[in-house]
Structure 1
Amino acid sequence: MSTILSGRIAAVLLGLSLCVAAAQASDVHAPDPRNSPVKPMKDADADKPATAKAAKARGFEDPMDRLRQRLAEKLGAQQAEANPDIVRVANRPGAASTTPVRSAAVQAGGGGGNAAALDAREPAEPRAIAARPSRSAVAAHGASPHWDYSGDGAPENWSKLKPEFSACSAGKRQSPIDIRDGISVQLDPVQFDYKPSSFKVLDNGHTVQVNVAPGNSIEVMGRRFELVQFHFHRPSEERINGRQFDMVAHLVHKDLEGKLAVVAVLLDRGSVQPLVQMVWNNLPLEKGDEVAARATLDLNALLPSERGYYTYMGSLTTPPCSEGVLWMVMKQPVGISPEQIGIFSRLYPMNARPIQSASGRLIKGSN
């Protein structure tokens, strides 16, 4: 192939030499400009046509320019034929482009293309499309992590995840707390009005939550609160005089004004807890699933025999950490077996918010 290419180039160069000689001869026998109808050029550089099309319009064409053009066309055709790394693309549908682009091998640095191929430039549009990020990548970039108990979504970062979580760091009456230095007073007992009810068990990604049918309530301080749901934490979020328990159940209630009251039942290692076992028997297989139990559940079986309690004003222990929550922490813990603790720990080894500052809040305990 290189021999054929060299022969063709030599033939072109020979033709170029002959044409140059002919052009010089024509200059010798050129007519006298004074007898020619064409006005002689005073300054060849000033009046030289700007383009080949303008030159033809004025009846003038430099034979050297024509020969150079022909030579470039021939050489370009030979290189395109000899070099498989050069491909041609269409700038618009139905129109062939004369702009060579590098093949994938050359672009990757693994091709053996010649200098012409390496100097080629790709069309601008394919480059722009290749550089444009996908919609899924844009959506993923900059997304806030979900709140959790470790990693980027850990409790110390909750307030940074969303503006509505600001109370998690700026609040002054946050929960849980270490209950100590409380004052003993004659507190009215909490009136529990619990009855056997249907229930559903939900693994919400943070804990095991039990949604109970309406009809269960408590009355405390002259106000009535309807039970909404209860859930579990491991270990207990609350501490009493520095002591932390194996687990805790939070029973969440709401009154007609939307105010919340939470009863915390501390769970300590001991014997099997029947109500907890009913919940575990209906655990969903996947996070986000909810299982409707066939049996009914009586929450009286979860309460301690002694109903003394501590009370204080606090907050939710999960985002958005809303304050104004009435807390009642039962003094007497309820037993739960090591096997039952182990079942929950397989799902949530640790889902307790760290202790928050009491900030001088009044804590009362029943005597």
Structure 2
Amino acid sequence: MRTLLTLLACCYVVTAAANNEKDPLISPSTKSALVGAAGVTSTGSSASASSSAPSAPPRKLTEREKEAQAEADLSARIQERLAIMRANQAARVAAAAKAKKQAAAKEAAIATIPKVYSNVWSYEGETGPANWGKINPAWAKCGTGNRQSPIDIRDGMKVDLEQITFDYHPSSFNVTDNGHTVQVMVGSGNFLTVGNRTYELIQFHFHRPSEERINGKGYEMVVHLVHKDGEGRIAMLALLLERGKPQPVIQTVWNNLPLEKLDTAAPVEPLDPLDLIPARRDYFTFMGSMTTPPCNEGVLWLVMKEPVQASPAQMALFSRLYPLNARPTQPSAGRIIKESN
């Protein structure tokens, strides 16, 4: 019986608590007491209900919020792209710097290697006179000098020139076909004196046609006799050749020509260079240069006025060896040219 009464009391309390929870006239503290007495909490019931209810949908963004989000996304993508571009640019700059450094090192290595220039020249084509100054820097005067030879001798000033004194005598000699001309080396002891200065004859050689012209007139051949003094200064004596009777010195040279180019013949017989000199000793004189590379200037030129005769056969023999081996004449403007009265 006692147990039954207890159960009934509990049912009443629970029913009252349930009804009184909805009653607005009952205070919250009374409701809590009633619920507590019944062993049930209202919050527990609500928590249970809310846990089983579906979650609320996410709030929709406003247009302003959407625009802000799009701008933020775009800015992030731009920053990412800029970072990639900067990295690529840095890589290119580093690669260019490395290539430049390697090129500089290569150039420095090449600069330490002595450059070998060509010594090949000719009278025609790419290695002809027009390009002598370009083939080798040591020959720059050939293209840039202002006292180059040969020249067309014009407007000479007639003055009382000192007569040339020749102290030539029979001497040993050798003959070389050097690939450019026939060159005759003469033994020591042959001298030429002019202007109170004495020069020794070293060698003579031939050109066809004559390199020098006189008032526009050229000659079939010319002989250049190269002299040098004790200080290394050069005096060049030019003997113009025209057709006539045989010339004995030239015949002696032709008789001893080597059989091959770049070869040398050394005859036993002597040669007298004085036999080349014409009877008339009048001459033109001016300052010029050598007519072959390196075309050094400061050369005293002495061009005899009277031509020397050589036979057609003698000239024809040389023409077979060297049809053309003459440098073109250079401008004579501004030159001081003197000639004997």
* 2:270 counterpart SS class: strand
Partner-residue secondary structure (3-state), 1:200: strand
Give CA deviations for 1:2-33 in whole Å, capped at 9, x if unaligned.
xxxxxxxxxxxxxxxxxxxxxxxxxxxxxxxx
Equivalent in 277, 283, 289 of residue 257 of structure 2: 283
1:190 corresponds to: 164
Contact 1:145 1:153 in 2 (8 A): no
SS of 1:305 mapped into structure 2: coil
Unaligned 5+ runs, structure 1 = 1-141
Counterpart of 2:178 (choices 183, 194, 204) is 204
Partner of 1:252: 226
The equivalent of 1:269 in structure 2 is: 243
Is the 2:185–2:202 contact (alpha carbons within 8 Å) kept by the matching residues of 1? yes
Is 1:354 the counterpart of 2:295? The answer is no
Structure 2's unaligned 5+ residue stretches are 1-115
Q: Deviations over 1:97-117 (max 9, x none)?
A: xxxxxxxxxxxxxxxxxxxxx
Tell me the secondary structure at the aligned position of residue 138 of structure 2.
helix
What corresponds to 1:159 in structure 2?
133
Q: Is the 1:277–1:340 contact (alpha carbons within 8 Å) kept by the matching residues of 2?
A: yes
TM-score normalised according to structure 1 size? 0.61
| 2:144 matched residue in structure 1 | 170
Q: CA deviation at 1:144?
A: 3.9
In 2, distance between residues paired with 1:189 and 1:284? 36
Equivalenced residues, count: 226
1:237 aligns with 2:211: yes
Aligned-partner residue type, residue 177 of structure 1: I
Q: How far 1:271 sits from its partner (Å)?
A: 1.1
Superposed CA deviations along residues 152-174 of structure 1, whole A, max 9, x for unmatched, are 11100100110001000100000
Structure 2 distance, partners of 1:250, 1:217, is: 15
Aligned ranges for residues 48-197 of structure 1 at < 5 Å? Answer: 144=118, 146-197=120-171
What amino acid maps onto 2:164 in structure 1? V
Residue 117 of structure 2 contacts residue 135 of structure 2 at CA under 8 Å; is this kept in 1?
A: no
Q: Secondary structure at the match of 1:243?
A: coil
AA paired with 2:323? P
Distance 2:148 2:209 in 1: 18
Larger helix percent: 2
Structure 1 residues 296 and 145, CA, compared in 2 at 3 Å: closer, same or farther?
A: closer
Task: Tell me, in whole angstroms, the C-alpha distance in 1 between the residues paired with 2:180 and 2:164.
Answer: 28
Counterpart of 1:299, as a letter, is P
The percent identity for this pair of structures is: 60
Counterpart position of 1:95: none
Q: Aligned pair 1:332/2:306, yes or no?
A: yes
For residues 334 and 144 of structure 1, the distance between their equivalents in structure 2, rounded to whole angstroms, comes to 36
Return the alpha-carbon distance in structure 1 between the equivalents of residues 172 and 120 of structure 2: 31
- Structure scoring higher RCO (CA < 8 A, sep ≥ 6) equals 2
In the TM superposition, residue 145 of structure 1 has moved relative to its aligned partner by 6.9
The code of the aligned residue for 1:267 comes to L
Name the aligned partner's letter for residue 187 of structure 2.
Answer: A
Q: 1:301-316 residue pairs with structure 2 within 5 A?
A: 301-316=275-290
**1:162-195 CA distance string (max 9 Å, x none):** 0001000100000000001010000010000000
**Cα distance in 2 for residues equivalent to 1:247 and 1:330:** 14
1:219 is aligned to 193
Q: Which amino acid aligns with 1:178?
A: D
What amino acid is the match of 1:251? Answer: L
The structure with the largest alpha-carbon Rg is 2
Distance in 1 (alpha carbons) for counterparts of 2:118 and 2:167: 42
